[in-house]
Amino acid sequence: MGEIIKLLAELVNRIHDILAIIFGILGIQLSDKRLHFIIFGGFGIFMFIIVDWTFKKISKWSISAISFIYTFTFLTVLALNVEIEQKITGSGNMEFQDIVAGVLGFLAMFVIYVAIRIIIVLGIKIYKKYSKREIEN
């Protein structure tokens, strides 16, 4: 897990350096904070446009799908943060498998939740169907 974080950090640092060089060549001198402002702003807007379009399409199908995506994303980030915290504090081992196990736990419990909801909804539909027949007779 530590190796993956180091690899990602190296990638981010290289992209940062390349962008600083490009802006320098263009004659635009930016402080680190201004570079972050521009990059995060641009990337954020790009990401927002894609996410907004995607969620509008998904919302026509189900708001629960958006809730699932949000929860899945939040739990993935939370699991990653817990592993980083364990590495920093020495309170546990930082392992990628722990993140996977946490996310799979959510997915397993989500499948159970969906199955229970389906059973309840079908049960209600069947009950209403047979209740109407009894009233008509």
**Does 62 score more than 70 pLDDT?**
yes
Note whether residue 113 is domain-resident: yes
Note whether residue 131 is domain-resident: yes
Does the pTM exceed 0.95? no
Least confident of 7-11, 113-117, 121-125: 7-11
Note whether residue 68 is domain-resident: yes
Note whether residue 55 is domain-resident: no
Note whether residue 21 is domain-resident: no
To 10 degrees, what angle do helices 96-136 and 63-89 make? 150
Range of the domain at 97: 63-137
**Does 2 score more than 70 pLDDT?**
no
Note whether residue 134 is domain-resident: yes
Note whether residue 116 is domain-resident: yes
**Does 1 score more than 70 pLDDT?**
no
pLDDT grade, residue 34 (50/70/90)? confident
Question: How buried is 25 (Cβ within 10 angstroms: 0-12 exposed, 13-18 middle, 19+ buried)?
Answer: exposed
Note whether residue 133 is domain-resident: yes
pLDDT tens string 85-101: 888 888 878 888 888 99
**Domains held by the chain: number:** 1
